[in-house]
Structure 1
């Protein structure tokens, strides 16, 4: 395709300041006619170029339309992903707090377990010592003797 590129129309000559208004009106009319003539020529040239490149223009418009649709759908997907990430972030914060509370409860239970072991080992030792004492005594074992705290005597 050897087509000549569009030609830029020549710039108009600015009228010189004259005192006679009829000459300036005539110059305006001449300039107006030139501009209209150049406008018609440019319009005709544009029509020729559009008609000669009609297929190319249609392809470009279709490609642009497809790309525009893809960009729009991808923007929507990105927005959805951002919303999902924010929801996940909130859920992770909740789980973090829940795990922290469970961890603290575990520490408390561990401490209680240690205290129970200490208490049970002390009471087992007392029961064993009390049963050893009662085997030599003919009297029956009384509840007050078992509940008696030997540390209170010290």
Structure 2
């Protein structure tokens, strides 16, 4: 694991619970260290730190984690897992998990769909109508 810059996620006493949840959702994931104050974990090769910082700060949409998905099955899987147990759907592939952390669950070809300005003009209206993204509908736009 060689990513010298990684996020620290502030939790209200639930850092280990959150890390265990995220590790259950993402394959090839593990908890690296666990102390009463900090838990370090790895999701698909990316490092994270969870801090038991108390109730002072909450997550908001200004920061989100992006999950690139190769197919609709992956989008469906991550959407179901991350919105389950109290998560919330939002628009355009965004959601909040049960801890309030924002995620974007998007097809890995999203950049390609949006690169050509003419195609982007067709894709955007379709995208703006969706909560969970439907790859087929985006590609057909």
Q: Give 1 or 2 for the bigger CA radius of gyration.
A: 1
Q: Same fold (TM over 0.5)?
A: no
**More strand by percentage:** 2
**More helix by percentage:** 1
Q: TM-score, normalised by structure 1?
A: 0.19
Q: TM-score, normalised by structure 2?
A: 0.20
